[in-house]
Amino acid sequence: MKKKNFVTLIMSVVGGLLFALGMCMGLIQEWNALKPGILVGTVGAVILLAMVLIRRKMDGKPMIVLNGRTIGTTLLGVLGAIVLGVGMCMVMVWDMLVLGIVVGIIGIVLLLCLIPVIKGLQ
């Protein structure tokens, strides 16, 4: 295994676990841990962002190139994740099963749109 793949693996697992645990801490009311959940989730998100920057540095690519395509792709990803999350909340928290599933599927379709936007069609 190459060094860059190993570093990416470790950082993405740690960051993903912390982010997921923070989300659970914040969203599961029985745990009563909203503020610590926000902190743990933020730490996880920072680790994931650092992983992206470190991986790009190890690949010899520029850190982040800000142009219209990058901003649009990022906004599409954020929008898709938010719509998917709202759909999940509608099903699990607000007891709106059918509408939540529809909203979740729309979020998944938005996230799937990232593949042709990033990789392109051939």
Phi and psi for 28 in degrees, rounded to 5? Answer: -90, 110
- Phi, psi of 66, deg, nearest 5: -90, 110
User: Rounded to two decimals, what is the model's pTM?
Assistant: 0.68
Backbone dihedral angles phi then psi of residue 68, each to the nearest 5 degrees: -60, -40
Which residues neighbour 19 within 8 Å (Cβ) at sequence distance 6 or greater? 41, 44, 45, 48
Q: What is the pLDDT of residues 17-33, one digit of tens each?
A: 999 999 999 888 898 99
Domain ranges of the chain: 1-64, 65-122
Question: In the chain, what percentage of residues exceed pLDDT 90?
Answer: 77
CA dist 114 and 104 (Å) reads 16
